[in-house]
Amino acid sequence: MTQESTRKQAAPMSEAAFTLLVQGVLDYGIFMLDPQGHIISWNAGAERIKGYRAEDIVGQHFSVFYPPEDQASGKPQWELETAVAEGRLEDEGWRVRKDGSRFWANVVITALWDEKGVLRGFGKVTRDMSERRAAQHALSERRRLFDHLVQAQETERRRIAWDVHDDSIQAMVAVAMRLELLADRVPESYTAELHRLDASVREAIDRLRSLTFRLHPPGIDRHGLIEGLASHLADVVGSSWGMAYTFEHQLDREPSPETAITIFRIAQEALLNVHKHARGSRVDVRVASADGGIVTRVVDDGTGEPMPQDGARDHFGVIEMRERAETAGGWWSMHSRPGTGTTVEFWLPNPRPVPATTPEPAKDAP
């Protein structure tokens, strides 16, 4: 390897000075990559932010810091290429810590050239912006708009579900009852046909009923997220689909209604996908507080078919799940390995209600 000899030359200052500078900085992760993207130096800030110690990480490729979906789309490589082409690249986005949790990073990658114009590697500076981002997001117009949209959508769905229940289903029940009554009264030659009609009306009723369930699962707004998920798992996953499941939860605080609905909706689609596509035997759901928000995991033991990259336009589940999570200020990912099932994992911030909307007398007023 010729890089061994060139690394030292690539350093813009003496090793000792560089080490001192780098060691002193805690707020920034500062490290270097070789031209292929392998980590060749590490500092205390990087350890603090990303959770790796130098001996764990030096020599590894820097793409381990990226979420699986970014790895799959080739983002790390693309970032290096851009830094080479333009000298520098700045990016904000989710990065993954050693323990798998994510933080919102500001990243600057600078290409380092020697005097002969040969690429010697990259300098990378990473800052953890999670807290600032969360604070900004909680107060933003965008957050308020998001909450409003979630509520509006749920209200609309509830209204449609009620209309279907109170009108369509009842009307069809009346038709079915009358058909059955009629079947007992007409000459025998018509009976079979009437029973067939009756059966198809009753099947349509069942389908409408499960549609209203999906539109507005009872329980979620009355009893909160955990109850809502628990009864969805019991009624739909367990009873209707006959699938084995486990449900674990560990919340240090009840989510806001908007956050609860968003988690529920994403989990609902992830579970539906398990039912439709995974051909597995079980699904494990876990909801837990993490990083000032809530992380949810839906794990199946199915085919683990990788996400199709065929660009087919008629699959909206994945797009919608990601959209919901990102609009709420969080992240969403789906990873699967053939033979070991699929994991859908997402995190949403769980902001406390905006003070302005819940006026309360000052607690420590005399």
Smallest separation (angstroms) from Mg ion to the CB of 321 = 8
CA distances from 218 to 159, 171, 294 (A): 13, 22, 22
Please provide the DSSP assignment of 271-293 as one string.
Answer: HHHIIIII--SEEEEEEEEETTE
Please state, in angstroms and rounded to a whole number, the distance separating the CA atoms of residues 189 and 195. Answer: 11
Return the amino acid letter for 315. Answer: H
Give me the residues that bind other proteins (CB under 8 A), please: 165-166, 169-174, 176-178, 180-181, 184, 198, 202, 205-206, 209, 213, 217-219, 222-223, 231, 234-235
Cβ atoms of residues 128 and 103 within 8 Å: yes
Q: Which does 274 bind (CB under 5 to 8 A by kind): other proteins, Mg ion, ligand ATP, none?
A: ligand ATP
Q: Which is nearer to Mg ion, 80 or 243 (CB)?
A: 243
Q: Does 323 bind ligand ATP (CB under 6 A)?
A: no
Q: Which of residues 342-361 bind ligand ATP (CB under 6 A)?
A: 342
Q: Which does 165 bind (CB under 5 to 8 A by kind): Mg ion, other proteins, ligand ATP, none?
A: other proteins
Please provide the DSSP assignment of 7-75 as one string.
Answer: HHHH-SS-HHHHHHHHHH-SSSEEEEE-TTSBB----HHHHHHH---HHHHTTSBGGGGS-HHHHHTTH
Q: Does 68 bind ligand ATP (CB under 6 A)?
A: no
Q: Does 126 bind ligand ATP (CB under 6 A)?
A: no
Q: Does 277 bind ligand ATP (CB under 6 A)?
A: yes
Strand, coil or helix: 337: coil
Please state, in angstroms and rounded to a whole number, the distance separating the CA atoms of residues 120 and 118. Answer: 6
Q: Which of 169, 223, 230 is nearest to 201 (CA)?
A: 169
Binding mask 272-301 for Mg ion (x = CB under 5 A): -x----------------------------
Return the amino acid letter for 261. Answer: I
**Exactly one of 82, 191, 303, 327 binds ligand ATP (CB under 6 A); which one?**
303
Could you tell me which stretch among 3-11, 207-215, 255-263, 315-323 binds Mg ion (CB under 5 A)?
315-323
Please state, in angstroms and rounded to a whole number, the distance separating the CA atoms of residues 249 and 282. Answer: 17
Could you tell me which stretch among 6-14, 136-144, 185-193, 272-280 binds ligand ATP (CB under 6 A)?
272-280
Smallest separation (angstroms) from other proteins to the CB of 236 = 9
Please provide the DSSP assignment of 341-362 as one string.
Answer: -EEEEEEEE-PPPPGGGS----
Q: Which is nearer to other proteins, 17 or 174 (CB)?
A: 174
Count, residues near ligand ATP per rule CB under 6 A: 16
DSSP H/E element including 365: none
Q: Which does 180 bind (CB under 5 to 8 A by kind): Mg ion, ligand ATP, other proteins, none?
A: other proteins
Cβ atoms of residues 291 and 101 within 8 Å: yes
Q: Does 276 bind ligand ATP (CB under 6 A)?
A: yes
Q: Which is nearer to Mg ion, 304 or 317 (CB)?
A: 317
Task: Spell out the residues 6+ positions from residue 70 whose beta carbon is closer than 8 angstroms to its own.
Answer: 76, 93, 94
Q: Which does 330 bind (CB under 5 to 8 A by kind): other proteins, Mg ion, ligand ATP, none?
A: none
Q: Does 257 bind Mg ion (CB under 5 A)?
A: no
Q: Which is nearer to ligand ATP, 88 or 276 (CB)?
A: 276
Smallest separation (angstroms) from ligand ATP to the CB of 191 = 39
Largest pairwise CA distance in the chain: 103
Strand, coil or helix: 97: coil
Please state, in angstroms and rounded to a whole number, the distance separating the CA atoms of residues 73 and 80. Answer: 14
Q: Which does 173 bind (CB under 5 to 8 A by kind): ligand ATP, other proteins, Mg ion, none?
A: other proteins
Q: Does 336 bind Mg ion (CB under 5 A)?
A: no
Task: Spell out the residues 6+ positions from residue 241 whose beta carbon is closer than 8 angstroms to its own.
Answer: 275
Smallest separation (angstroms) from ligand ATP to the CB of 25 = 42
**Residues contributing to the site for Mg ion (CB under 5 A):** 273, 317
**Residues contributing to the site for ligand ATP (CB under 6 A):** 273-274, 276-278, 300, 302-303, 305, 307-308, 315-318, 342
